[in-house]
Amino acid sequence: MGALWPLALALAGLAAAGPPNFVVIFADDLGYGDLGAYGHPSSSTPNLDQLAAGGLRFTDFYVPVALCTPSRAALLTGRLPVRVGMYPGVLQPSSRGGLPLEEVTLAEVLEARGYLTGMAGKWHLGVGPGGAFLPPHQGFHRFLGTPYSHDQGPCQNLTCFPPDTLCAGSCDQGLVPIPLLANLSVEAQPPWLPGLEARYVAFARDLMADAKRQGRPFFLYYASHHTHYPQFSGKSFVGHSGRGPFGDSLMELDAAVGALMATIGDLGLLRETLVIFTADNGPETMRMSHGGCSGLLRCGKGTTYEGGVREPALAFWPGHITPGVTHELASSLDLLPTLAALAEAPLPNVTLDGFDLSPVLLGTGKSPRQSIFFYPSYPDEVHGVFAVRSGKYKAHFFTQGSAHSDTTADPACHASTPLTAHEPPLLFDLSMDPGENYDLLGGVTVVTQEVLQALKELQLLKAHFDAEMTFSPSQMAQGEDPALQVCCQPGCKPRPDCCYCPDTGPVMGSSGGPRVQPEPQPHPVPQPQPEAQAQPEPEPQPQPEAQAQPEPEPQPHPVPQPQPEAQAQPEPEPQPHSVPQPHPVPQPQPEAQAQPEPEPQPQPHPVPQPQPEAQAQPEPEPQPQPESEPQPHPEPQPQPESQHSMGRLLL
């Protein structure tokens, strides 16, 4: 395959006819050393490895905080989490707060440029009353996914690996089961985990095909649950990775990447689509074999050491990105300004912490980013940033262990290691010592002038940055209200146990067990058709929801190669998949009509608002008025399937 890359790049067009499409794939708790392309000796990641071989592989790509919620906020806003109130820790299912609606997301930037925007997977940026903080209110036309991590609810009785292997551990107790949402509707609670990734892939395929049919660019934010604990996968991957449950889930993630790339190739959009892959934070090493690998880097999730904040990152765009490896500094904060520049979209009128990296991607220049600042999972204005990297040097002014990084051989990673100030700071040359093993200022008799100059520069950078930074009010500090937990059966008792509407969709049988699914066949790479045989693209016809068929699990696919431009003809678009499509959310009804049904009905039900004190709910919130609720972002061109009901509504 390697010999085909130079030919493909030589024949690819140098400019797309319009704004490029964007696919951002965001893995969960994936370590720097987990992919074959980054040196893991036994990971089965052929599709990601092909993206690395045919695209740009970053060696020094960072997230600003090594934790789910703040990392996701940084990616979507281009702003440090402390600027947008996404601290400390992560949002809970009962949290009152969420990503403030005044923040401008990447989806909103691209939506204004005419993009069809969609998200599949894990959100974890808040739910709020009536779903106020969910993706449909943050610039996404379509959403299929969970509002938070799949371990934030009881999982001890859920199947993670078919036919009957239960999820490891018990996850969080005393909460509602994890809900699967389609826009603002509850699809299932809980969903069938082994079929979830295939469901997301089908959603993504439909989004891309619909955008192609409408003649619009698309933005797909694909935030997979893999490889977060507890791991799960479809039956085609169980026991096939050689790395146990973690490897099986990683193998399914890789197959999903292959399925997405095959779809882009089928649609004839390889040269018009930039694909970016990275992850939210380092591995959760406390899970041992159920956690990931940070390779030669120190520690993992929850710390400001390299293993917590340095991530694998790939960028693939045939005809525009020359295959290779870059050591330029880069961050997830840079995605918003970079994609905005490529789409020729105006930037939000706010302070951004990201930089436009399009010169690095296109090979026309160096990275404008010279430094990166790292906050801990629980930041405060007194301590400020814990670590700063400038050029090849990194200084740790404060360090603290994390339970997420327990069980490693290094005690500095463990939760038992308290907050520790370092004066002078720990100083490392990451070009020679990426594992942060040799402090340049510790136990040495002679310090070079270059090292002293680097120390002074890093100290000044921290002092200036801390002095200029203003923390926004913490969204987590708004507290929790159990009544805000999403429930598929509003008004039911006793909560949370009664909030149970198990999956009966495309991957489930009438008995509630998984249907037997046919083994999917390898996806052929689309071949160019002679010009005389080109046929108009058939308009996909929506299928009635009652005829839903099981969605095949994603299989490993070769990354499709772009065909010579003179011969390439558009392929017929794939027919819509049976996975239910998101639908417009009904407008809130007056309070007199918003009473919960006495018993669950097959029609959509509103998720309950915070209950009054008479119903024994702690610290009830005032009932929000309909006119004050934010409205979701409608698609400019309604889809035919939007006329059908799809689950229990979240009003």
Catalytic residues: 68, 124
Let me know how long the chain is.
651
Cα–Cα distance for residue pair 244/292, rounded to 1 Å: 11
Q: Which secondary-structure segment (H or E) carries 395?
A: strand 393-399
Considering only the C-alpha atoms of the chain, give the largest distance between any 2 of them, rounded to a whole number of Å: 78
Beta bridge pairs of residue 221 = 24, 119
User: From the CB of residue 597, how many other CB atoms can be counted at a distance below 10 Å?
Assistant: 13
Contact yes or no for 228/150 (Cβ under 8 A): yes
Secondary element (H or E) of residue 116: strand 116-122
DSSP secondary structure letters along 607-635: PPPPPPGGGT-SSPPPPPPGGGSPPP---
271-272-275 Cα angle (round to 5): 90
| Phi, psi angles (nearest 5°) of residue 641 | -70, -10
CA proximity to 291, closest of 413, 391, 393:
413
HSE-CB at 437 with a 13 A cutoff on CA atoms is 8
Radius of gyration for the chain, computed over Cα atoms and rounded to the nearest angstrom = 24
Contacts 24+ apart (CB under 8 A), 436-445: 436/297, 436/298, 436/305, 436/306, 436/394, 437/298
